[in-house]
């Protein structure tokens, strides 16, 4: 059934039974059930972890306070089956795809989206990472078709996601853009909906999805962090704007109300931090962007399921009308499933807030993995093995991605060197800068694949470090602009850097920063190849397209001119590993810190 016909069913049901039930209450009192049960099973930030995630990404503190191994598609499937009852709707809060392991990324995450379909997922909010390959690619993932460059995957023509993606705060910049995002609202043709949307904007994605459970419609509102333009590649989202989550949720809530849907659930890809090692069912979330949304959205919204910060919590917050509202998140990488049970009043069609109970379940690996999903994952593992196991270079010792006091990491420095090497020729790069958050894993001498400790780096291991398929780019900046970018590493400036983020410099670029100096005068003594940098000299600076687009609040990069685009960052890294054999961990002495 299409969501349009579901809606008509819901509306017909709402009108008919509303009238009938009101009249019938005295006679039926105490007989017909006044409420029906609904269960939600929710996941967030899966990030394509079809295989059990390793290291700290695969561990979780459970409800007894023990640290246990958690995650993996076949284990998720077993847990989901055990938790699922006939009243269940499975939902997700974004970042299911993007920043994924090679098994998923090599096929543009089609394997992960197919797995979510097999799990019975019905609705997912988009996360920022759903936009990693751009809006058009997200539409292909939603609707089907083969990749425009890489063609069809070994599984054949992509059929499209079997669940709805929703994102109410994702609008077209151009108000004349045509939208096909309003199927769940009967095409959006009712005069009241038209009026509401003409004041609001043109949705680039379905803002809501309506699912019927036990005769009552449940409305799901999707939201993604409004910071998305700062954390994805600009080119892919240039036609979109990401607006305030609370305002968008309130418009979406009104849209649902206009079609008679009063049981309303927000799926939001934004969340808060928690205290270390807390129980997944504890609250103690540090109030942040997630709490703001959970407390401020319209009182008609009953439940707020969150994501993005990769934390597990179950909180009760107050809505603007002073009533309790659930606010929760289920960790990341498929390590937690959030179960939400509630009762919905069949007359008012609203959720009985007092009945809402939530529980975070850790996806342990002590259960029998689901055989069908195990076979599915093995199929993709076999397909990607020749790609993943190819040796691309050797290292002489572990190369960690943990920061020295200067903020440099050995692996970050190595990647900056690789990026400079890859962009010198075509792009005339003189230095390279790498964003620290893009160094996703360390390189270990004892290979995790075979455990033989021979220092061999495989393509799969290199990809785990650099999984984003960013393009290398080079722009021209002057010395003053370069200094501004380095100032933008620190909090307190007009670029609104949320945390200090030290860019990893290539070995030929050195400078000093002062911890105590005010923002704007922290950086001094910049040198390239030992020569002092003047304010007016021009410098060709290499960085990935995420940074060059102003990512991570490094807005200074957008001042760059004479843009040149080169190879993928993963190719630059792999080439460098191949050409410098074996590689020793670089020193972290490029930046000098003074008090
Ligand atoms: Zn995210």
CA 45 – ligand 1 centroid, Å: 7
Q: Quote the ligand 1 centre to 271 CA distance (angstroms).
A: 9
Cα 311 to ligand 1 centroid, rounded to whole Å:
11
Q: How far is the CA of 268 from the centre of ligand 1 (A)?
A: 10
DSSP tag of 525: E
- How many whole angstroms from 520 Cα to the centroid of ligand 1? 30
Residue 579 reports pLDDT greater than 50: yes
Crossing angle for the helix pair 73-83 and 371-388, nearest 10 degrees? 160
Q: What phi, psi does 129 have (nearest 5°)?
A: -70, -20
**pLDDT per residue over 355-383, tens digit each?**
999 999 999 999 999 999 999 999 999 99
For ligand 1, the distance from its centroid to the CA atom of residue 168, given in whole angstroms, is: 16
Residue 129 contacts residue 99 (beta carbons within 8 Å): yes
CA of 125 to the centre of ligand 1 (A): 11
* CA of residue 437 to ligand 1 center, whole Å: 13
Integer-rounded Cα Rg, in Å, for the chain is 25
pLDDT of residue 407: 97
53 C-alpha to ligand 1 centroid (Å):
17
Element (H, E) at 163: none
Residue 428 Cα, ligand 1 centroid: separation in angstroms? 34
Distance 24 CA to ligand 1 centre (A): 48
pLDDT of 26 reads 42
Distance (angstroms) between ligand 1 centre and the Cα of 130 equals 9
Rounded to the nearest angstrom, the distance between the alpha carbon of 521 and the centre of ligand 1 is 32
Q: Compute the distance from residue 33 Cα to the ligand 1 centre, in Å.
A: 41
The DSSP letter of residue 246 is: H
pLDDT of 197 higher than 90: yes
Q: State the chain's mean pLDDT as an integer.
A: 92
Alpha helices for 458-592 (secondary structure H): 459-465, 479-487, 545-548, 569-579
Tell me the two tokens of residue 102. Answer: 């090679």
Tokens representing residue 191 in the block = 């005069």
Query: What pLDDT was estimated at residue 469?
Result: 81
pLDDT given at position 9: 46
Contact 243, 171 (CB under 8 A): yes
Phi, psi of 478 (to 5 degrees): -95, 170
Helix (H, G, I), strand (E, B) or coil at 103: helix
Report how far residue 269's alpha carbon sits from residue 263's, in angstroms, rounded to the nearest whole number. Answer: 20
Compute, in angstroms, the gap from residue 72 CA to the centroid of ligand 1: 19
Residue 365 CA, ligand 1 centroid: distance in Å: 25
Q: What are phi and psi of 62, to 5 degrees?
A: -90, -175
Per-residue pLDDT at 30: 55
CA of 129 to the centre of ligand 1 (A): 6
Residue 564, pLDDT score: 87
Q: Average pLDDT for residues 194-223, to the nearest whole number?
A: 97
SS3 412: helix
Question: What's the confidence (pLDDT) of residue 235?
Answer: 80
Ligand 1: centre distance to CA 289 (Å): 13
pLDDT in tens, 132-183: 999 999 999 999 999 999 999 999 999 999 999 999 999 999 999 999 999 9
Cis amide linkage into residue 582, ω under 30° from 0: yes
User: Looking at residue 214, what DSSP letter applies?
Assistant: T
Q: Which pLDDT value is given to residue 23?
A: 33
Strands (E), 16-120: 35-43, 59-61, 67-69, 88-92
Residue 452 has pLDDT above 80, yes or no: no
DSSP character for 150?
T
Quote the ligand 1 centre to 95 CA distance (angstroms): 6
| DSSP assignments along 511-544, one per residue | EEEESSSPTTSSEEEEEETTEEPPSS-EEEEEEE
Neighbours of 250 (CB within 10 A): 18
Distance from C-alpha of 453 to C-alpha of 445, rounded to nearest angstrom: 6
Q: In angstroms, what is the span from residue 306 Cα to ligand 1's centroid?
A: 10
Closest residue by Cα to residue 46 from 121, 106, 107: 121
pLDDT one-digit tens code per residue, 336-349: 999 999 999 999 99
**Once rounded to an integer, what is the mean pLDDT over residues 85-94?**
98
Adjacent-strand bridge partners of 212: 217
* CA 310 to ligand 1 center in whole angstroms: 8
Collapsing DSSP to helix, strand or coil, 43 comes out as strand
Does position 7 have pLDDT exceeding 50, yes or no? no
- The pLDDT value recorded for residue 533 is 98
How does strand 216-224 pair with strand 208-213?
A: antiparallel
CA of 191 to the centre of ligand 1 (A): 36
Go through the chain and tell me how many residues it has.
Answer: 595
Ligand 1 center–CA 297 separation, angstroms: 20
Q: How many Å lie between the centroid of ligand 1 and the Cα of residue 389?
A: 29
The secondary structure of residue 370, as a DSSP letter, is P
- Distance between Cα 328 and ligand 1 center (Å): 15
Please tell me the distance between residue 509's alpha carbon and the centre of ligand 1 in angstroms. Answer: 32
SS3 of 382-404: HHHHHHHCCEEEEECCCECCCCC
128 C-alpha to center of ligand 1: Å?
5
Rounded to the nearest whole angstrom, what is the distance from the C-alpha of residue 309 to the centroid of ligand 1? 7
CA of 97 to the centre of ligand 1 (A): 10
Task: Give CA–CA dist 198/590, Å, rounded.
Answer: 54
pTM assigned to the model: 0.83
Residue whose pair of structure tokens reads 């579901």 in the numeric block: 6
The residue among 555 and 14 whose pLDDT is bigger is 555
Average pLDDT over residues 90-112: 96
CB atoms near residue 391 (< 10 Å): 14
Q: Are 251 and 223 in contact (CB under 8 A)?
A: no
Diameter over CA atoms, the chain:
91
Residue 431 has a pLDDT of 98
pLDDT (0 to 100) of residue 447? 63
Q: How many angstroms is it from 572 CA to the middle of ligand 1?
A: 26
Ligand 1: distance of its center to the CA of 395 in Å? Answer: 32
| Owner of token pair 């989901």 | 80
Strands (E), 230-335: 240-242, 263-269, 273-274, 285-286, 301-306, 312-318, 324-330
Q: How far is the CA of 515 from the centre of ligand 1 (A)?
A: 30
**Residue 72, pLDDT above cutoff 50:** yes
DSSP character string of 220-244 = EEEEE-TTHHHHS-GGGGTTEEE--
When pLDDT is cut at 50, 70 and 90, the band that residue 471 belongs to is confident
For residue 396, what pLDDT band results from cuts at 50, 70 and 90? very high
Can you give the pLDDT at residue 11? 46
pLDDT of 8 > 80? The answer is no
Burial letters for 26-44: b for 16+ Cβ neighbours within 10 Å, e otherwise? eeeeeeeebbebbbbbbbb
Task: Please tell me the distance between residue 493's alpha carbon and the centre of ligand 1 in angstroms.
Answer: 24
308 vs 56, which has greater pLDDT? 308
DSSP H or E segment with residue 558: none
Calpha distance 67→64 (Å, rounded): 9
Task: Read off the pLDDT band of 453 (50, 70, 90).
Answer: low
**Centroid of ligand 1 to alpha carbon of 165 (angstroms):** 15
Q: Which two tokens stand for residue 428?
A: 């005339």
Task: Give residue 277's pLDDT band: very low, low, confident or very high (50, 70, 90).
Answer: confident
**Alpha carbon distance 140, 134 (integer Å):** 10
């Amino acid at each position: 059934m299409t969501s349009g016909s579901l809606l008509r069913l819901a509306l017909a049901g709402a009108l008919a039974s509303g009238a009938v039930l009101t009249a019938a209450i005295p006679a039926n009192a105490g007989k017909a059930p006044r409420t029906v049960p609904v269960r939600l099973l929710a996941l967030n930030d899966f990030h394509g972890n079809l295989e059990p995630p390793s290291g700290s990404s695969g561990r979780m503190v459970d409800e007894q306070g023990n640290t246990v191994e958690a995650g993996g598609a076949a284990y998720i499937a077993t847990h989901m089956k055990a938790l699922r009852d006939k009243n269940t709707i499975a939902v997700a809060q974004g970042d299911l795809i993007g920043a994924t392991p090679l098994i998923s990324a090599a096929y543009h995450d089609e394997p992960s989206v197919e797995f979510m379909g097999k799990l019975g997922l019905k609705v997912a909010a988009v996360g920022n990472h759903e936009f990693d390959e751009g809006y058009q690619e997200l539409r292909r993932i939603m609707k089907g078709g083969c990749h425009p460059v890489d063609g069809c995957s070994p599984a054949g023509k992509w059929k499209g996601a079997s669940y709805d993606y929703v994102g109410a705060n994702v609008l077209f910049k151009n108000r004349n853009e045509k939208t096909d995002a309003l199927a769940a609202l009967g095409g959006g043709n009712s005069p009241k909906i038209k009026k509401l949307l003409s004041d609001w904007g043109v949705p680039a994605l379905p803002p809501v999805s309506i699912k019927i459970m036990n005769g009552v419609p449940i409305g799901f509102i999707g939201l993604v962090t409004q910071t998305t333009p700062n954390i994805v590649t600009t080119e892919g989202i240039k036609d979109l704007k990401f607006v305030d989550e609370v305002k968008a949720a309130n418009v979406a809530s009104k849209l649902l109300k206009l079609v008679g849907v009063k049981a309303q659930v927000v799926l939001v890809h934004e969340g808060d931090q928690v205290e270390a090692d807390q129980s997944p069912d504890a609250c103690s979330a540090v109030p942040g962007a997630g709490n703001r949304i959970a407390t401020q959205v319209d009182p008609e919204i009953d439940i707020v399921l969150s994501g993005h910060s990769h934390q597990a919590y179950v909180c009760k917050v107050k809505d603007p009308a002073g009533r309790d509202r659930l606010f929760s998140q289920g960790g990341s990488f498929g390590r937690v499933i959030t179960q939400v049970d509630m009762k919905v009043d069949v007359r008012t069609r609203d959720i009985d807030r007092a009945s809402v109970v939530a529980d975070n379940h850790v996806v342990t690996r002590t259960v029998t993995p689901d055989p069908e999903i195990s076979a599915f994952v093995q199929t993709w593992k076999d397909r990607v093995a020749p790609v993943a196991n190819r040796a691309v270079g050797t290292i002489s010792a572990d190369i960690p991605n943990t920061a020295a006091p200067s903020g440099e990491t050995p692996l970050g420095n190595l990647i900056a060197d690789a990026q400079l090497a890859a962009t010198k020729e075509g792009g005339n790069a003189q230095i390279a800068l790498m964003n620290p958050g893009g160094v996703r894993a360390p390189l270990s001498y004892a290979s995790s694949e075979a455990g033989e400790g021979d220092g061999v780096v495989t393509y799969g291991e290199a990809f785990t470090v650099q999984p984003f398929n960013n393009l290398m780019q080079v722009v021209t900046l002057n010395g003053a602009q370069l200094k501004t970018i380095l100032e933008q590493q620190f909090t307190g400036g007009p670029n609104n850097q949320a945390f200090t983020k030290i860019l990893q410099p290539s070995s030929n670029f050195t400078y000093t920063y002062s911890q105590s100096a005010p923002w704007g005068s922290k950086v001094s003594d910049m040198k390239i190849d030992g020569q002092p940098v003047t304010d007016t000299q021009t410098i060709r600076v290499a960085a990935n397209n995420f940074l060059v687009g102003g990512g991570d609040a490094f807005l200074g990069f957008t001042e760059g001119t004479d843009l040149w685009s080169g190879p993928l960052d993963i190719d630059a890294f792999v080439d460098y590993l191949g050409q410098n054999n074996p590689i020793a961990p670089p020193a972290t002495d490029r930046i000098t810190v003074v008090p």
